[in-house]
A and B are shown apart, each in its own frame.
Chain A
Amino acid sequence: DGGITQSPKYLFRKEGQNVTLSCEQNLNHDAMYWYRQDPGQGLRLIYYSQIVNDFQKGDIAEGYSVSREKKESFPLTVTSAQKNPTAFYLCASRHTSGSYNEQFFGPGTRLTVL
């Protein structure tokens, strides 16, 4: 099946811990994105990557880090520097060729800080 997968579905973190959220896609998309959603809020962009080995900060990158070593994978690390990490984390991807910008989302990871 083609699509975007995220793991784990639920994640619990103790204060002071770093945790890594996985995002994989087999759609052959070039660009990948990480968003965060808080209750009653829209999505906010954390990081994005247009090509392998390159990524850019979004609007709320502080306390997060990413890597893009493979086209299919774009993991997000939530570091201990992120003061309020409890949220729903969503990964998305899209083609960069052509004139359309449609992004498709994975199922999300719900992170809770204990």
Chain B
Amino acid sequence: QKEVEQNSGPLSVPEGAIASLNCTYSDRGSQSFFWYRQYSGKSPELIMSIYSNGDKEDGRFTAQLNKASQYVSLLIRDSQPSDSATYLCAVNAGRDSGGGADGLTFGKGTHLIIQP
């Protein structure tokens, strides 16, 4: 059973600080990694994707991938109250040999609270 693990939280961070969200995955064959933000009652919104080891930055967001440790993280700099949401880690765990269009495996999400 392919698994994606996240700390459910809540993770409470002061406004303006760095929020650090972590995710581990079980399938070493995983090739694609994503972070989605989900506000209460809404659908997930893609905020970051990462495919190779190292860091990828986009505005206030940085995704970090370490395939050897099977670990992916998301850093949010200068946290704002509007960042308060549940963050879902998703992995394309290669259900078939083609990879790609075969669905994502999601963690249960980390609930992030930014305190004003």
Contacts and interface: CB of A to CB of B under 8 A. Distances in A.
Interface string B82-104: 00000010101000000111111
Contacts of A63: none
A102 B8 CA distance: 24
Contacts, number: 65
Contacts of B90: 43
Contacts of A96: 100-101
Interface residues of B, number: 27
Interface stretch (A14-22, A67-75, A76-84, A105-113): A105-113
Given A48-B102, A102-B49, A103-B104, A42 B109 contact: yes
B51 A43 contact: no
A31 interface: yes
Nearest to B48: A102
A64 interface: no
A102 B46 contact: yes
B81 to A, nearest CB: 23
B104 A105 contact: no
Nearest to A106: B43
B46 A42 contact: no
A57 B104 CA distance: 13
Interface of A: 30-31, 33, 35, 40-45, 48, 50, 56, 58-59, 90, 94, 96, 99-108
Interface of B: 4, 8, 31-32, 34, 36, 42-46, 49, 51, 88, 90, 92, 99-109
